[in-house]
């Protein structure tokens, strides 16, 4: 702590990049939805249908504050849509997004999902690190194309990506 006359300044050190502090990744609850919705809005992502899909969502919780989210939308027994990946701006570049996506992928594997799909307008260079590859809309299974995100919540210009989890 530095003292300047009557003014006291407490010096805090931000964690190094790659450190995600105390954030715990856990399944989302109904009570988390207002903060999830705010995170999605701040990241310019659609929240259409998210409140009905919370059983497939995970949040990053830092002492009761929701600082990140990712969701899985089951589309059929073997397909799911990875959606709603958002991190609070002050928590970006700390590997929290990576941890959330990895948790969602592991959950998809546990559920027996064969292929994951996603739509993105900004992160087409981010998701290949998890094994996602760009694909064409017409190659996406009809069950995935029937989701609100494919039907218009995401623009038709969004990049479509897929990840094969099992053969």
Rounded to an integer, what distance in angstroms lies between the CA atom of residue 59 and that of residue 70?
A: 7
- pLDDT number for residue 21: 59
CB contact set of 67 (below 8 Å; sequence gap of 6+)? 23, 39, 60, 61, 87, 88, 90, 91, 96
Domains and CATH numbers, the chain: 20-164 (3.40.630.30)
- pLDDT number for residue 150: 81
- pLDDT number for residue 86: 92
Backbone angles phi, psi at 91, to 5 degrees: -110, 0
Query: pTM of the predicted model, to two decimals?
Result: 0.82
pLDDT mean for each 10 residues of the chain (167 residues): 42 41 90 94 86 92 94 92 92 91 96 94 91 94 89 81 86
């Amino acid at each position: 702590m530095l003292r300047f006359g009557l003014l006291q300044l407490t010096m805090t050190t931000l964690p190094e990049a790659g450190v995600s502090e105390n954030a715990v990744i856990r399944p989302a609850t109904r009570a988390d939805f207002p903060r999830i919705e705010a995170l999605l809005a701040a990241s310019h992502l659609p929240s259409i249908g998210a409140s009905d899909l919370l059983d497939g969502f995970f949040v990053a919780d830092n002492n009761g504050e929701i600082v990140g989210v990712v969701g899985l939308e089951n589309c059929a027994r073997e397909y799911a849509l990875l959606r709603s990946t958002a991190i609070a701006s002050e928590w970006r570049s700390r590997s929290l997004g990576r941890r959330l996506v990895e948790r969602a992928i592991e959950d998809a594997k546990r559920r027996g999902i064969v292929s994951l799909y996603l739509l993105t307008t900004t992160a087409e260079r981010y998701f290949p690190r998890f094994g996602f590859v760009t694909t064409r809309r017409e190659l996406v299974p009809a069950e995935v194309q029937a989701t609100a995100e494919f039907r218009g919540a995401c623009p038709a210009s969004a990049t479509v990506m897929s990840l094969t989890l099992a053969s």
